Amino acid sequence: MRTLYMRIIVITMVIMISSAIIAFLGTNVYYQYYLKPKNDEKVTSIANDIVAIYENNDSQAIEAYLNDMTELGYTFYLVDSSGGAELFGKSFDSIDLQAETVHNVLNGGTYHGIAEYPWRPFVTGFFDNKLENTIGVPVNADGEQYALFLRQNTVQQFGEMRLFLAVMLGLLIVLSFLLVLISTRFIVKPIDKLTAATRKISAGNYHIKLNVSRRDEIGRLARDFQQMSDNLEQMEEKRQEFVSNVSHEIQSPLSSIQGFSQALREEDMTEEERRRYLSIIENESRRLSQLSRQLLTLSFLDDDVKVEETTRIDLPEQLKDVMATLEWFWRDKEIAVELETVPEKVYGYPRLLHQVWMNLLANAIKYSNPGGTVKIYGITEKDAVMVTVEDNGVGIKENDLQHLFERFYKADKARTRTKKSTGLGLSIVKKIIELHDGTITVESEPGEGSKFHVRIPKM
């Protein structure tokens, strides 16, 4: 029983056999307590009717009368007062009967052998063709008292029905077992497909099509498994793309560092050129450092690791601190940064939210034209806090908006691919907002600027 197929077959057959046994036992109890007394009462009434008919019309000998009555499906056993007995109809398998019983019937009593017959398994007592399993009544013939015992001739009355029931029961068992074998294969077949698909996934093959159209639990399991396979395939594609992008981003500054380091070895280089090359090497090293920090941050956020407890944050103070940190940046471009009304408090992770405002404000300043304006404002909603960072800079193209938060994605690559850009900033922002169970959305038109809306639920 190592396979599910065999387990289902064996369990089903055990259930069928157990149910049949329990049903037979229940039927037996029902027969013994209800049907057997009813049958005894019915046969007793028939016996009294047979005796009454004979005694009201005694023109025929008792022997001839009883012999004719056997055609109705009964067996008779007639005992006279001297103990002589005569059988009419099919012989009994056993004619053992206590003399006291015969004497009691001869004296006018009634013998209820059917009701008093001992228990037999599976209602077989109904078919026991024995003298003690009869009804006994007194009968008077030609002035002499007799004891008449009778019972149904079950072979004559139920012979064809017994054969019919036996054939039907046999066919029922055989067909049930065959249908169990077929239906179990139908049930197990999708599971076999799932097992094979699991092996493929474990081997790294995520391109799987199950084609299971069932609507039951196994069908839902197959569809969920298919969805999981598709998700894994997409994750694998993103992972490969991520590795490729990381390799590219690392290779570029490394190549610059290597090339300019070799150039520094030349003896005919002027001091000005040497300083410029060293500056380039320093900038590329900083870019590598920034990239490594951002990758570590993304890894930290992907694991949903919470190294600090949420706390109440004074949002205006935090935004003022970010503005002060970037003051040299926006003053250098002669950009006006306006902090308008914002909610006074929000609950979250102070260090992470600080990084969100730092990134969004830095981008707004970076992509604003000299002399432009950056606004920061917010509102308090019923169940959330909304903060908007708005600029009137170059804006973002519509086809770039849907990819804006993807890792290493850089909108308008010809314009924004600077050596200080890694393409990870907005991905980090989105992960931090999701860590707060919030959302970030963008509105932008090329040449008209952008609006980044950060919505954080109230705690």
pLDDT tens for residues 340-381?
A: 888 878 888 888 888 888 889 988 998 888 888 999 998 888
Q: Which of 103-112, 145-154, 205-214 has the highest mean pLDDT?
A: 103-112
* Both structure tokens of 307: 């190294």
**Co-location of 228 and 106 in the same domain:** no
Residue 212 lies in a domain: no
Residue 173 lies in a domain: no
Given this model, what pLDDT does residue 414 score?
35
Q: Could you report the per-residue pLDDT of 138-176, keeping only the tens digit for each?
A: 998 888 899 999 988 765 555 555 566 667 777 877 888
Q: Is the pLDDT of residue 133 over 60?
A: yes
Q: Mean pLDDT across the stretch 288-314?
A: 68
**CATH number of the domain bearing residue 330:** 3.30.565.10
**Co-location of 324 and 415 in the same domain:** yes
Mean pLDDT of all residues belonging to the chain: 79
Look at residues 354, 323, 365 and name the one whose alpha carbon lies nearest to residue 340: 323
Measured over the CA atoms of residue 130, residue 135, residue 136 and residue 139, the dihedral's sign is negative
Verdict on whether the full-model pTM lies above 0.75:
no
Q: Which residue has the tokens 């707004």?
A: 364
pLDDT band at residue 104 under the 50/70/90 scheme: very high
Residue 84 lies in a domain: yes
**Co-location of 322 and 358 in the same domain:** yes
Q: Is the pLDDT of residue 416 over 50?
A: no
**Co-location of 124 and 236 in the same domain:** no
Residue 17 lies in a domain: yes
**Co-location of 89 and 113 in the same domain:** yes
Residue 425 lies in a domain: yes
**Co-location of 276 and 296 in the same domain:** yes
Among 247, 280, 300, residue at a domain's last position = 300
**Co-location of 18 and 151 in the same domain:** yes
Exposure of 249 in the CB half-sphere (CA atoms within 13 A) = 27
Q: Which of 55-64, 161-170, 299-308 has the highest mean pLDDT?
A: 55-64
Given this model, what pLDDT does residue 1 score?
47
**Co-location of 146 and 251 in the same domain:** no
* Both structure tokens of 230: 């598709």
Total domains in the fold of the chain = 3
**Co-location of 134 and 253 in the same domain:** no
Q: Mean pLDDT across the stretch 180-196?
A: 76
pLDDT band at residue 267 under the 50/70/90 scheme: low
Question: Whole-angstrom distance between the N-terminal and C-terminal Cα of the chain?
Answer: 54
Given this model, what pLDDT does residue 415 score?
37
Q: Could you tell me if 197 and 210 are in contact, meaning their C-beta atoms sit under 8 angstroms apart?
A: yes
Residue 164 lies in a domain: no
Exposure of 374 in the CB half-sphere (CA atoms within 13 A) = 27
**Co-location of 229 and 318 in the same domain:** no
For residue 413, the enclosing domain spans 308-457
Among 107, 127, 157, residue at a domain's last position = 157
Q: Which residue has the tokens 């068992």?
A: 173
**Co-location of 12 and 76 in the same domain:** yes
Residue 355 lies in a domain: yes
Among 250, 269, 300, residue at a domain's last position = 300
**CATH number of the domain bearing residue 294:** 1.10.287.130
pLDDT band at residue 306 under the 50/70/90 scheme: low
d(CA 73, CA 288): 107
Q: Could you tell me if 229 and 201 are in contact, meaning their C-beta atoms sit under 8 angstroms apart?
A: yes
Q: Which of 332-336, 388-392, 406-410 has the lowest mean pLDDT?
A: 406-410
**Co-location of 14 and 131 in the same domain:** yes
Higher pLDDT, 94 or 411: 94
For 203, 219, 321, the CA distances from 197, given in Å and listed in that order, are 10, 15, 54
